[in-house]
Amino acid sequence: MTSPHDELSTDTYLGPLIEAHGRLRIEPAEDFFQRFVTSILRQQVSMASAAATRERLFDAVEVTPAGIRDADDDLLQDAGLSRQKTRYVNNVAWAFEQRGWSKAHFEGMDDDAVRAELTDVTGVGAWTADMQLIFSLGREDVFPVGDLGIRKGMTTLFDADLTRAEMVEESERWRPYRSYASLYLWRAEEDIAESVAEVVGEG
């Protein structure tokens, strides 16, 4: 059976990146909720800032749906969450508790249906939903054009100032393995290589 890497390595643009970085793999997070919270912390901030907030939050509270819901808002804000993100993580915790969000819950749904349900919750935009599709649910054909790192990678790879629509169009060449292609796009430019994912998310 042909692997995603075998398919993508023949691509003019991705081939050299695959050769340089080897067979990168999508490894879904063990804890869906904690991964979701981490994505919210990474919305529209630097990786360093998000990492610092994540460390304080995980030290301050039990990062489970119940733990977040039971925590006082002041405690979450003392850990570095803005008022807005405090509301967002509570919204997501509510959805896990009341809507039964879990990997099993989304297992039989296609990507668009997952996006629709996730983004129905305030604080979860297209970028955050795409991060869950890739890094929590392990979906293989997601192209998160809302991610700054992806757009930088596309600009570097194609040596052109593409619009988002043009980037999505160009990404069609990598179906049905655009999530794998994204792993390499995050490594296409040296100044974002260490971040790998979610350099700046847009909700």
pLDDT digit string (tens) for 133-170? 999 999 999 999 999 999 999 999 999 999 999 999 99
Q: Is the pTM of this model over 0.95?
A: no
Average of per-residue pLDDT across 8-26: 95
Cα-trace Rg, the chain: 17
Domain locations in the chain as residue ranges: 4-25+143-192, 32-135
d(CA 16, CA 129) in angstroms, rounded, equals 29
- What would be the CATH architecture of the domain defined by 4-25+143-192? Orthogonal Bundle (1.10)
pLDDT computed for residue 22 by the predictor: 94
pLDDT computed for residue 31 by the predictor: 97
Decide if 4-25+143-192 and 32-135 have a common fold.
no
- What is the third-level CATH fold of 32-135? Endonuclease III; domain 1 (1.10.340)
User: How large is the angle between the packed helices 32-41 and 47-60, nearest 10 degrees?
Assistant: 130
pLDDT mean across residues, the chain:
92
Q: Which residue has the higher pLDDT, 114 or 191?
A: 114
Among 150, 148, 203, which Cα is nearest to 179's? 150
d(CA 91, CA 122) in angstroms, rounded, equals 7
pLDDT computed for residue 190 by the predictor: 61
Chain segment 77-125, per-residue pLDDT in tens? 999 999 999 999 999 999 999 999 999 999 999 999 999 999 999 999 9
The dihedral of CA 9, 10, 13, 16: what is its sign? Answer: positive
pLDDT band at 189 (very low <50, low <70, confident <90, very high): confident
